[in-house]
Amino acid sequence: MIKFNVPPYIGKEKDYLMQAVESHKICGDGQFTKKCNAWIEEKMGAHKALLTTSGSTALDMAAILTDVGPGDEVILPSYTFVSTANAFVLRGASLVFVDIRPDTQNIDEKLIEDAITDRTKVIAPVHYAGVGCEMDTIMDIAKRHDLLVVEDAAQGVNAFYKGRGLGSIGDYGCYSFHETKNYSMGEGGALLIRDEDKTDRAEIIREKGTDRSRFLRGQIDKYTWVDMGSSYLPSEMNAAYLLAELEEADMINDNRLASWNAYYELLSPLAADGYIELPVIPEECAHNAHMFYIKTKDIEERTALASFLKENDILAVFHYVPLHSAPAGQRFGRFHGEDKYTTNTFERLLRLPMYYGLKPEEVEYIASKIKEFYKNNAVC
């Protein structure tokens, strides 16, 4: 069976993990965490990066930092993971869902402005599959309407828009290091803070609302409770595992891109014949091969293809029940404008196996089975 996902593992994780264990410093913010934070700041270009316990809690922290509350509105795509929405719902804000683009499955930047009301406070774009949203346009809209931007860059580590790291462009950016992501620590994430003046408050929220970080740096002589907060620090053991992978990030990235490019090339004839659609990478974007997906004609064809692949020992999956059609989405938000592509994408998109270490012959086998399916079944 070709699995859909295998958590990244390069070998060095074990050594670093043992070092963390033997250092008898296993709570948060030790050497490994600091090195991971520094890697993110340097490579992705944020003023400050702080490891968190998950991508979801990074989003929770970002939502607290925006000060949104009851009566405020947040604009986001409906085609996303629940965590993008939950973070703002937990603050009491209302969600305004906007349709996606049919090429990148990212929020359609041209539809955002029309969804803005006097209650809008935040735009939360999601970089689907590690392919950047049209950030220049989104940042320009935010500037003109005085809105904050929280990037859900959970899938965007080591991916860039016009040379700038995804997650480093908006006011806040959120990464995930869940085992399904390109770089992992089991469960974990990071919050990126673009501006220096927001850093202190982010550290305070992450340290249970105390100014402990300033105390540890010797800037104050005792620490106390100064704001709301919680515990968002991952343990050093998790950070140790992650550091091993971040140090080899480009090797992991090249490996994934090779699989992605092979899929693209092998499936191009099917796309040229009009059977399927392939992902589109805008010129401005350097993506990270987080996902490889195809779009079938309709939901029936997608269901048939997924079961055909399963019969041939290949796991292919689909995702994102549109949030606006889910019970909680209906309770906490509304869809602005027409749902032209959100539900349509949910029904047609199929993700193919993609992970570090996927073998070229496996990619070939998967592509050959998809071709076989269309040769046998489809009337185009």
Ligand X SMILES: *Cc1c(COP(=O)(O)O)cnc(C)c1O
Q: Which residues bind ligand X (CB under 6 A)?
A: 54-56, 80-81, 83-84, 126, 152, 154-155, 176, 178, 189
Report CA-CA distances (Å) from 84 to 236, 355, 364: 26, 23, 35
CB of 54 to ligand X, least distance (A): 3
CB of 152 to ligand X, least distance (A): 5
Cα 65 to its chain centre, rounded Å, is 19
Residue nearest to ligand X (CB): 55
CB of 332 to ligand X, least distance (A): 16
CB of 372 to ligand X, least distance (A): 31
Report CA-CA distances (Å) from 345 to 77, 192, 246, 319: 12, 29, 32, 9
CB of 87 to ligand X, least distance (A): 9
Q: Which is nearer to ligand X, 83 or 94 (CB)?
A: 83
Q: How far apart are CA 310 and CA 5, in angstroms?
A: 14
Q: Which is nearer to ligand X, 130 or 229 (CB)?
A: 130
CB of 181 to ligand X, least distance (A): 6
Contact 232, 219 (CB under 8 A): no
Query: Which tokens is 177 given?
Result: 């290091």
Q: Which is nearer to ligand X, 55 or 132 (CB)?
A: 55
Torsion sign over Cα 305, 347, 82, 280: positive
- The 10 Å Cβ neighbour count of residue 339 is 19
Q: Which is nearer to ligand X, 132 or 189 (CB)?
A: 189
Q: Which is nearer to ligand X, 41 or 60 (CB)?
A: 60
CB of 377 to ligand X, least distance (A): 31
| Backbone conformation region of residue 378, classed left if phi is above 0, alpha if psi is from -120 to 50, else beta | beta
CB of 127 to ligand X, least distance (A): 8
Q: Which is nearer to ligand X, 154 or 363 (CB)?
A: 154
Q: Which is nearer to ligand X, 84 or 168 (CB)?
A: 84
- The 10 Å Cβ neighbour count of residue 362 is 16
Q: Which is nearer to ligand X, 166 or 262 (CB)?
A: 166
CB of 52 to ligand X, least distance (A): 8
Angle at the Cα of 198 (from 117 to 90), degrees rounded to 5?
50
CB of 288 to ligand X, least distance (A): 12
Query: Which tokens is 149 given?
Result: 């931007």
Angle at the Cα of 49 (from 44 to 52), degrees rounded to 5?
120
Q: Which is nearer to ligand X, 30 or 189 (CB)?
A: 189
Q: Which is nearer to ligand X, 184 or 210 (CB)?
A: 184
